Amino acid sequence: MSYEWADVVTSLLLVSVAYGATNVDNLLIMATLAAGRASRNTVITGFVLASFAVLLIATLATFIADVLPAAMLGYLGFVPISIGVYLLFASSASDDDTTGATTWPAITALLLANSSDTIFALGPLFAESEDSARIGLVAGFVVIAAIWLVLILKVSSRVARSTKLGRLGHWLAPWMMILIGLYVLSDTATDLV
């Protein structure tokens, strides 16, 4: 029985490190969006749905390679690029209405497109783990994702209180999305193929 608890604790630590290391960029993007482009409820809904989808995909990672070739995953970069371009046009059309420009489906799609590194970090852990360790992986994922959401909301409230940072976040969020999309589209050392 103590061996199973060791598996659970080890997997809790592994998933926390993997999630934290692969989601710093998502923290910054989401805090920027929450500070000026989206309501808190929109951010929370998009984040929770994307987190659930990432967890589900990571648990099914052993079957993904049979369904979708790794070379196709780079095309997910078009999602954040299109959202960034939309936000650029939306902000130039109406600078007054900043809260409705980003919807929860857009946030969910952005996070999913930018979470391939998390999926590929966690997928092998799920594939190679025993059931007791998988319980720890799921529990650890839920805990660290909840902590990440609290961090997003805390950082965004600080950005929103500063008018200079708020204006910078309003301008920076679309460009960050476009750059992330270009990174996903490019052939980099972190790609599978």
Tell me, letter by letter, the H, E, C secondary structure of the chain: CHHHHHHHHHHHHHHHHHHHHHCHHHHHHHHHHHHHCCCHHHHHHHHHHHHHHHHHHHHCHHHHHHHCCHHHHHHHHHHHHHHHHHHHHHHHHCCCCCCCCCCHHHHHHHHHHCCHHHHHHHHHHHHHCCHHHHHHHHHHHHHHHHHHHHHHHHHHHHHHHCHHHHHHHHHHHHHHHHHHHHHHHCCCCCCCC
Q: Domain residues for 169?
A: 2-185
Q: Does 191 reside within a domain?
A: no
Q: Does 93 reside within a domain?
A: yes
Q: Does 56 reside within a domain?
A: yes
Q: What is the pLDDT of residue 2?
A: 61
Q: Model pTM?
A: 0.69
Q: Does 134 reside within a domain?
A: yes
Q: Does 30 reside within a domain?
A: yes
pLDDT at 190 over 80: no
| Tally of domains within the chain | 1
pLDDT at 103 over 80: yes
Q: Does 190 reside within a domain?
A: no
Q: Which residue has the higher pLDDT, 72 or 13?
A: 13
pLDDT tens per residue, range 54-84: 999 888 865 655 666 666 666 766 766 777 7
Q: Does 38 reside within a domain?
A: yes
pLDDT at 134 over 70: yes
